[in-house]
Amino acid sequence: MNQMEELLIRGVDTIYPNIKALEKRIENGKPLRVYIGVDPTGTKLHIGHSIGLSKLQEFADAGHEAILLFGTGTVLVGDPSQRSEARKRITEDEINENIKTWKEQVSKIIDFEKVKVVQNSDWLLKLTLKDIIDIASNITAVHLFKRESFQRRIDKGDTVWFHETMYPLLQGYDSVAMDVDLEIGGTDQTFNMLMGRELMQKMKGKEKFVLTTPMILGTDGQQMSKSTGNCIWLDDSPEDMYGKIMSIPDAQIDSYAELLTNLSIEELKREEPVNQKKKLARAIVSKFHGVEKANLAQEHFEKKFQEKIPQEHIEFPRTLTSLATITYIDPSQSTLAYKFVLFASLMNFLRKHKRIFVILSLVAGLGLVISPLLLFLPYL
């Protein structure tokens, strides 16, 4: 891929109004003013957050004006996107603490010498009642209530709070206040970002582009969420991050490679799945922790989970119950372990039902072959 393709194709879901229009705008030579906004709602960021941030850095590296916006104003309302209920209100002290920890984590992705950091409370908290009325007069209530998360709540008879309906307007106004050319965000932010596109057209008569990035799934193949415990956090240790990536379903290898690395997916596919994951894990850990720590994380993983266990340390399970204590089985040994469980189950059954075994063996004509096993049954 050339630089334009890397910017506008890899790791991109949709471009509004379309990719051709954005390509034409970039080709005219004038740098774009590009931004991504994040509300500091918690103390931790997961690798899903890094996708849009990495795309912002790509634009910065390509010579465009890049802005990272902390939603210190919008967070007071709470983004209703993908929410079945209103967000818990957050205090100013919590906001400041979250921003502090987020900057530390984001620094693994963002070069603050190339990316400007702003806070939308600088303009949102200064809006007068007249300003808010002027902004709101550009959007219909019907349009606001068309958003999917509101519709789901209404259909279920759940509450939609009035302050939540203001969120898309406030996020949309960020684009107007900063006079941006392009906004980057996850697909879950599409409604809010298109609201900014509409406000920009109506309030400034200007075209604003929107670039959405795909959502990434967690270690269990489901949507990445703190509540389900399937997140890979940016502040995970190199060893934990490497191990979590090795545990993802094989079906997610391609999406992780495309969204989180610069690896060639075509070359990666030539490898066996376990080697694909090793390369993937090493590349991702290198991105967030550096090559040296990624190498050590790989060594740690292989030593812990893949080296052969010395024979003198093997303790043969005496009962089926003891098998339940095994918490990890190396993928390369899973077939052997499965066969052992079946064999142990069969032997346990035969020990208790010797007569049934003899009858079945004779009926099946297998007596001469299998009956010698009966000699060992008294010792099982």
Task: For residue range 38-68, list pLDDT tens digits in order.
Answer: 999 888 999 999 999 999 999 999 999 999 9
For the beta sheet containing 14-16, the strands, ordered from the edge strand earlier in sequence to the opposite edge, are 14-16, 209-213, 182-186, 33-38, 65-70, 115-119
Whether the pLDDT of residue 99 is over 80: the answer is yes
pLDDT tens for residues 108-136?
999 999 999 999 999 999 999 999 999 99
**Rounded to whole angstroms, what are the CA distances from 99 to 24, 79, 323, 348?**
36, 17, 47, 60
**DSSP 8-state symbol, 38:** E
Rounded-to-integer distance, Cα 360 and Cα 310, Å: 40
Q: Which residues pair with 185 in a beta bridge?
A: 212
- Tell me the whole-structure pTM to 2 decimals: 0.76
Whether the pLDDT of residue 79 is over 80: the answer is no
Whether the pLDDT of residue 337 is over 60: the answer is no
All structural domains of the chain, each given as residue ranges with its CATH number in brackets, are 3-215 (3.40.50.620), 227-305 (1.10.240.10), 316-379 (no CATH)
Rounded-to-integer distance, Cα 145 and Cα 156, Å: 14
Q: What are phi and psi of 109, to 5 degrees?
A: -120, -40
pLDDT tens for residues 177-215?
999 999 999 999 999 999 999 999 999 999 999 999 999
Contact 380, 345 (CB under 8 A): no
Whether the pLDDT of residue 309 is over 90: the answer is no
Task: Indicate the average pLDDT of the chain.
Answer: 83
Taking the mean position of all CA atoms in its chain, how far away is CA 350? 49
Rounded-to-integer distance, Cα 146 and Cα 151, Å: 6
Collect contacts of 371-376 with beta carbons under 8 A, ≥24 apart. Answer: none
- CA-based nearest residue to 95, from 65, 112, 73: 73
